[in-house]
Amino acid sequence: MTVLELRDVVKTYDTDPPTPVLHGVSLTVQPGELLAVVGPSGSGKTTLMNIVGTLERPTSGLVRVTGHDVSGLSDRDLSALRGQAIGFVFQQFFLLSGMSALDNVADGLLYHGVSRSGRRHRAAEALDRVGLGHRLSHHPQKLSGGERQRVAIARALVGRPSVVLADEPTGSLDSASGESIVALLHELHAGGATIVVITHDREIAAGLPRQVTMRDGRIAQDTGAPLAVTR
């Protein structure tokens, strides 16, 4: 099953005058892919991520997540689909400072119907998977930036989503920590994870198997499925 499918997606914000952001974007992501959506500020990549992540609805066009057409889903059903199918990693980590790494990750399962002990067990497994099995009891303020991002990645993975969306995952890190996070994404991909990285960093994008380049609200190039630029 295709993990993500967008067909002729248009997004226009209801401002005065209206603000068009996406212009007929089509994109598919298959299970097991690791790709970058890359482009400068204003290219539409963040809006594309929000639509792919079901955080926003398109103005028109088709969006399917794990085969589900999101246009017909209520907000409640959309939230449930998002919680089950999509894991999010953000530039700013969004970890709770008063909780351990273990409990920050376990919170990713709060709405999955898993018992507290089950949540903590799976959180420990996820942290071990990202190389932090020895930091379970540490609070975020006791962790480096790279370690905090690893906790955030573990939280995204703990629910076993169909796809992980990583928005500028190295943007708040120094170069060495950033390189370690990119290496981790490659390791997780090799282990079967489907990962979409949204970035303005062309060097990071160039190191991934597939690059989708955004420009002026359109896909200018897709190395997985080359497209002609629409003018």
Q: What is the CATH number of the domain that holds 147?
A: 3.40.50.300
Is 158 a domain residue?
Answer: yes
Is 17 a domain residue?
Answer: yes
Is 43 a domain residue?
Answer: yes
Range of the domain at 87: 4-222
Is 87 a domain residue?
Answer: yes
Predicted confidence (pLDDT) at residue 229 exceeds the cutoff of 60:
no
Give the distance from CA 190 to its chain's centroid: 17
Q: Which tokens go with 173?
A: 């890190």
The pLDDT of 60-74, averaged and rounded, is 95
- Burial string for 107-125 (b: 16+ CB within 10 Å, else e) reads bbbeeeebeeeebbebbbe
The pLDDT of 2-12, averaged and rounded, is 97
Is 102 a domain residue?
Answer: yes
Is 92 a domain residue?
Answer: yes
pLDDT for residue 70: 95
80-108 pLDDT, tens digit per residue, is: 999 999 999 998 999 999 999 999 999 99
138-182 pLDDT, tens digit per residue, is: 999 999 999 999 999 999 999 999 999 999 999 989 999 999 999
pLDDT for residue 110: 86
Q: Which tokens go with 177?
A: 């920590």
Q: Please identify which residue in the block is written with the tokens 């002729």.
A: 8
Is 228 a domain residue?
Answer: no
pLDDT for residue 231: 32
pLDDT for residue 182: 95
Is 229 a domain residue?
Answer: no
Q: What is the total count of domains within the chain?
A: 1
143 Cβ contact list (under 8 Å, min separation 6): 101, 135, 151
Considering just the CA atoms, what is the radius of gyration of the chain in Å? 18
Q: pLDDT over 70 for what percent of the chain?
A: 97
114-142 pLDDT, tens digit per residue, is: 999 999 999 999 999 999 999 999 999 99
